[in-house]
Structure 1
Amino acid sequence: MVTTTNSEKAIIEEERILTELEKNAISRRQHLLEMRKRFVGRNQGNGDVDSEQNCGGERFPIQFRSYKPVNVQQQSSPSEPPREEINLLKEKIEGQLEAGKDAKIGESLDINTLAPRKVDWDLRKGIKEKLDKLDKRTNKAIIQLISWFFFVWVLFWNIWTL
């Protein structure tokens, strides 16, 4: 009689689980192939790999669900865009590009207008009022310091000359 240990039982269970997972994967794959065939409208016997490759190159009509297209050609089936419209667009774009090349950019630009602004110009724009108040206070403080220094100097001079 053959006895199995716990580790051997675990290995056997893992193999059984893997096979069940593989079976589930195969059944899901077959189900997806069947759904694809129903969607495409093909009902062939067994789902060969060749049938998957053949259905990739076909073009299906566009289903407009959220709006009605203005162009009648788009309503019937998807086709290549009309070449006349593409040629007109190309001509317009080329004309605009040529018009842009004709402008003399170097002569019309002034070096002074190209000079960059100060780094903090946008910051000063938002806090200009606060800076004005601080400038007034700073000027007032400077005047007070100068007058105090002058007063001290006059006192010192008067004491020294006595």
Structure 2
Amino acid sequence: MAATMASVGRLEEEALRRKVGLKALREKTGRKDKEDGEPKTKQLREGEGEGKKHRELRLQNYVPEDENLKRRRVPQAQPVAVEEKVKEQLEVAKPEPNTEEVDLANLAPQKPDWDLKRDVAKKLEELEKQTQGAIAELIRERLEGQDSLASAVDTTTEQEACDSK
């Protein structure tokens, strides 16, 4: 038992030394507390009861039976009528009717395959050049194979007549 008393005394001495050290540290840093060395938070809690007024009790969800407490009850909140606001917003958001009707025929292309023709046009030009070159080469070969120019012209006209039929 004596050993425990001695340890308690030693612990109290250490606590006092820490209090003194903390007080000295506060004085160095410029903090001003009460003289007994209590922190500011404790001082504020103690000071609330002395100088500060208690807040008024307001009962929002509790229905008291006592008449004194019934006076402190907060009246039930009434929901705001939103029908008028919603009607106004709907009227404002309503689009005006479009008097000019859009003709779908003007929006649609004249021919449904115009884009395909546009994309193929470059390839067709290249093929047309190759076709003209091949026709010219065939004509030269025929001319070389025949003796006279007149007979070549006759065969070409005959060939064109056959192609046109």
TM-score relative to the length of structure 2: 0.27
Bigger Cα Rg: 2
Answer 1 or 2: higher relative contact order, Cα 8 Å, separation at least 6.
1
User: Which protein is richer in helix relative to its size?
Assistant: 1
